[in-house]
Amino acid sequence: MSQASSSGEPNPASPANQVSLPRWNELKREYNLRHKSLMRYSAPAADAAKSPDDTVR
C-alpha cells in the first residue's frame, strides 16, 4: 500500500498523508513554477495548432 507515497507527489485526498498547509502551499508553488517552465516550451506548439481556427473565425 506504499505506492502513493513512493510516487513522490503529495496526495491531499489521502488521510494517511496529512501535510501542513504552509508546506502544502510551498509544494504547490514549486510544482506550478516547474509546470510553467514546461508550458513555456509547449506554448508555441499550442499556438500553432490554434492559429488555423483563429484565421477561420
- The torsion of the CA quartet 49, 50, 52, 57, rounded to 10 degrees, works out to 170
Confidence of residue 7 (pLDDT cuts 50, 70, 90): low
The sign one gets for the Cα dihedral 22, 28, 31, 37 is: negative
Average per-residue pLDDT in the chain? 66
Indicate if the pLDDT at residue 11 is higher than 80. no
The per-residue pLDDT for 24 is 86
Q: What is the pTM of this model?
A: 0.32
Confidence of residue 37 (pLDDT cuts 50, 70, 90): confident
Average pLDDT over residues 36-51: 61
